[in-house]
Amino acid sequence: MWQRFSDGARKMVFYAQEEAGRLGENYVSTEHFLLGLLREPSNAGCQVLNRLGISLERVRTEIEQQVAKGEGRLDQDMQLTPRAKRVIDLAYDEARQQAANYIGSQHMLLGLIRESEGLGGRTLAKLGVGLDAARQIVMDMEGEPGTVLDAEGSVAGARTIEDGSPARVSSDPPQTPSESDKREAFNVDAVIEGQIANARRVSAQMKGIVDDTRLAELDAAASAMEDMRRRHLDELNQSLKLLAEKVQSVVAEVLDRRSPPDDKSTGDQD
Q: What is the pLDDT of residue 136?
A: 94
C-alpha span between 67 and 192 (Å, rounded): 27
The answer to whether 15 and 35 have CB atoms below 8 angstroms apart is yes
Q: Are residues 150 and 249 in the same domain?
A: no
Q: What is the pLDDT of residue 224?
A: 75
Q: Are residues 118 and 183 in the same domain?
A: no
Question: What phi-psi label fits residue 158: left (phi over 0), alpha (psi between -120 and 50 degrees) or beta?
Answer: beta
Q: What is the pLDDT of residue 185?
A: 47
C-alpha span between 225 and 255 (Å, rounded): 45
Residues in the chain: 270
**265 assigned to some structural domain:** no
C-alpha span between 174 and 193 (Å, rounded): 24
**237 assigned to some structural domain:** yes
Domain boundary among 140, 168, 196: 168
Q: Are residues 30 and 106 in the same domain?
A: yes
Using alpha carbons only, give the angle 90, 77, 237 rounded to the nearest 5 degrees.
65
Query: What are the backbone dihedrals phi and psi of residue 131, each rounded to the nearest 5 degrees, phi first?
Result: -65, -50
Q: What is the pLDDT of residue 248?
A: 66
**266 assigned to some structural domain:** no
**269 assigned to some structural domain:** no
Q: Are residues 200 and 159 in the same domain?
A: no
Q: What is the pLDDT of residue 157?
A: 44
Q: What is the pLDDT of residue 171?
A: 32
Helix-then-strand count for the chain, H and E:
12, 4
Q: Are residues 206 and 98 in the same domain?
A: no
Using alpha carbons only, give the angle 140, 174, 143 rounded to the nearest 5 degrees.
15
Label the pairing between strands 79-80 and 27-28.
Answer: parallel
C-alpha span between 77 and 191 (Å, rounded): 8
C-alpha span between 55 and 88 (Å, rounded): 24
Q: Are residues 41 and 140 in the same domain?
A: yes
Q: What is the pLDDT of residue 152?
A: 80
Q: What is the pLDDT of residue 241?
A: 66
**8 assigned to some structural domain:** yes
**75 assigned to some structural domain:** yes
Low-confidence ranges of the chain (pLDDT < 70): 1-3, 70-77, 149, 153-196, 198-211, 215, 229, 232-241, 243-270
Q: What is the pLDDT of residue 226?
A: 73
Domain boundary among 133, 168, 203: 168
pTM of the model: 0.59
Q: Are residues 183 and 161 in the same domain?
A: no
For residue 116, give its domain range. 2-168
Q: Are residues 70 and 191 in the same domain?
A: no
> How many structural domains are present in the chain?
2
Q: Are residues 197 and 136 in the same domain?
A: no
CB neighbourhood size of 216 (10 A) = 11
Q: Are residues 85 and 201 in the same domain?
A: no
